Amino acid sequence: MEINNQIEKAKQGDQAAFTFLLNYYWNEVYGFMLKRTENETNAEDITIETFSKAFDKIATYNPEFQFNTWLISIAKNVHIDLLRKKKSSLFIEITDQEDQKAYNIADTTPSKEDELITEQNLSQLLRYIKELKPHYQEVIQLRYFQEMSYQEIATKINEPLSNVKIKLLRAKKLLAEIIRDKR
């Protein structure tokens, strides 16, 4: 009954209901995709995309079916789309510039700026943020340190606005878990 109430609230645009549904179903969808993909990063990306699509289309959800079944079917479709994109991208030629970008992997050691900040009150928080996966670090950095709007972030990282919101939500949740576990 609680789930149905949250779904109805989400249909009305209630952000707390979206958060509740994300938290409630995240592990189920992520676990399902992890079994299918056998890759944590892909499973996480597909799960983020799944919730993004589900929340964009929540008005079309038919309550005659279980919500988790609906989410899983979206996840399957997202996975199929990903496989199709990978298959077609295997035949795309890569320019030298794109090839060079692939080799310029970010250095995870703290910069001089990081060391200065480490001496201040933000030192511990930055260490916690660095424990996040790079794509979560990026959205946290853009939103809270560069103070970009959700739309500016979406444009910068070339992802839909809903994905940005879900990534930020997930990044904050994971960061809270890291902080809680370290105390």
In a domain, 19, yes or no: yes
Q: 41 pLDDT band (50/70/90 cuts)?
A: confident
pLDDT recorded at residue 14: 87
Across 5-17, b (16+ Cβ under 10 Å) vs e yields: ebbebbeeeeeeb
The confidence band for 106, taking pLDDT boundaries of 50, 70 and 90, is very low
Q: Are residues 55 and 116 in the same domain?
A: no
Residue 52 pLDDT > 70, yes or no? yes
Domain co-membership, 38 together with 84: yes
- State both tokens at 29: 């969808």
Query: Are 77 and 120 part of one and the same domain?
Result: no
* Closest to 22 (Cα-Cα) out of 40, 7, 37, 43: 7
Token pair for 6: 């949250």
Same domain flag for 17 and 70: yes
Domain identity same for 64 and 116: no
Which is higher by pLDDT, 95 or 80? 80
Domain boundary, last residue among 89, 117, 137: 89
In-domain check, residue 148: yes
Could you give the number of structural domains in the chain? 2
- Give the chain's largest Cα–Cα span: 57
Domain with 62, as residue range(s), is 2-89
75 and 6 part of one domain: yes
Last residue of a domain, one of 89, 115, 130: 89
Q: Which of 89, 120, 138 is the last residue of a domain?
A: 89
Distance CA 172, CA 170 (A): 5
- Identify the pLDDT of residue 81: 87
Section 29-49 average pLDDT = 90
112/57 same-domain check = no
Report d(CA 71, CA 2) in Å as an integer: 17
Summarised one tens digit per residue, pLDDT across range 115-172 is 544 455 566 777 788 888 998 999 988 988 888 888 999 999 998 888 888 898 898 8
Task: Give pLDDT, residue 96.
Answer: 64
* Structural domain includes residue 94: no
